[in-house]
Amino acid sequence: MLKITAYLKLLRPAQWLKNLMLYFPPFLGGTILQHGMATRGVLPFVSFCLASSSTYVLNDLLDRHRDLHHPRKKGRPIPSGAVPVWAAALLGALSLAAGVYLAVGISTLFLLLLLAYLAVSACYSLKLKELPVVDLFCIASGFLLRLEAGGEAFGIEISHWLFLSVFLLALFLATGKRLGEKQSLGEQAGEHRKSLLSYPDGFLPGAMYMTGGAVLVTYTQYVILRHALVYTVPLCCFGLLRFILRVQSGEGGDPTESLLKDLPLFIVGVLWAAMIGWGVYAGY
């Protein structure tokens, strides 16, 4: 049972929450309740979950020596020895093959978007994560590709303001994550992630404030003409400030962990989804 838990942990199922981005286009577009629409997204979601898990396995394989210097990551399945390197590689290959196989049956464009996501993720794991700013844009591109893949899977055109909001939000979260890592690791930051040494003091906090403010502007522009959704802007503002407070207080900047473990952020996330649902579907 312990072995199964270790292999499941290697796939990082908690990170699958990011793939809910595929459902944003139909949810925000008011079509998710149409007959067969919700089930239409099951295969695309599973495809991205399997594909993304393969990238996490690759990243853990490449980082297994550096993760030994991280107070939390040294307990991951590979550096801790719970999962052998060969078994992790096999699991990653199977996840990759299954994810691509499912994408082939969805559409050509969806497959291309998934392959683009895999290519960016692989380049990120191999080299790009060591390059300052480039590493942040790689993370942001992953969310944008998920968003576009969701639009393709559900046959919905992505709004320009939504595209910009997701891009800037992803940059904001990625910057907060890097800042949290730099604060928690201190002098050992460079041993875990080389790019952290290239960020001078003040750059990451400044970038986080800049992108956070930009998110608020673009999101407001997205909802301004949809009157019922304007009331979600204060929730968006609270969520951004709460995440900044969490990062600056040294509580960590991992977005998924923050959402699941920080009660105020979790409540705001649920309220945001409920208010969006009410605003878009109240007259359905």
Say if pTM beats, i.e. exceeds, 0.85: yes
Residue 190's pLDDT is 61
pLDDT of residue 7: 87
Closest C-alpha among 99, 243, 93, 224 to residue 177: 243
pLDDT in tens, the chain (284 residues): 557 888 889 999 988 999 999 999 999 988 888 888 888 999 999 999 999 999 999 988 988 877 776 667 778 888 888 888 999 999 999 999 999 999 999 999 999 999 999 999 999 989 898 899 999 999 999 999 999 999 999 999 999 999 999 999 999 999 999 998 888 776 666 666 778 888 888 999 999 999 999 999 999 999 997 878 899 999 999 999 999 999 998 887 788 888 888 899 999 999 999 999 898 887 54
Return contacts of 250-256, CB within 8 angstroms, 24+ apart.
250/180, 250/183, 250/184, 251/180, 252/180, 252/184, 253/173, 253/176, 253/177, 253/178, 253/179, 253/180, 253/181, 254/177, 254/180, 255/173, 255/176, 255/177, 256/14, 256/15, 256/17, 256/18
- Residues 6+ positions from 74 with CB-CB distance below 8 Å: 67, 68, 80
Rounded alpha-carbon distances, angstroms, from residue 95 to 17, 101, 268: 17, 10, 33
Residue 15: Cβ within 10 Å count: 17
Question: Given this model, what pLDDT does residue 226 score?
Answer: 80
The pLDDT score that the predictor gives to residue 196 is 82
- Give me 274's structure tokens: 């409920």
Look at residue 191 in the predicted model and tell me its pLDDT: 62
Whole-angstrom distance, CA of residue 217 vs CA of residue 130: 30
* pLDDT of the residue at 284: 45
- DSSP-assigned letters across all residues of 9-46: HHT-GGGGGGGGGGGHHHHHHT-TTSTTHHHHTHHHHH
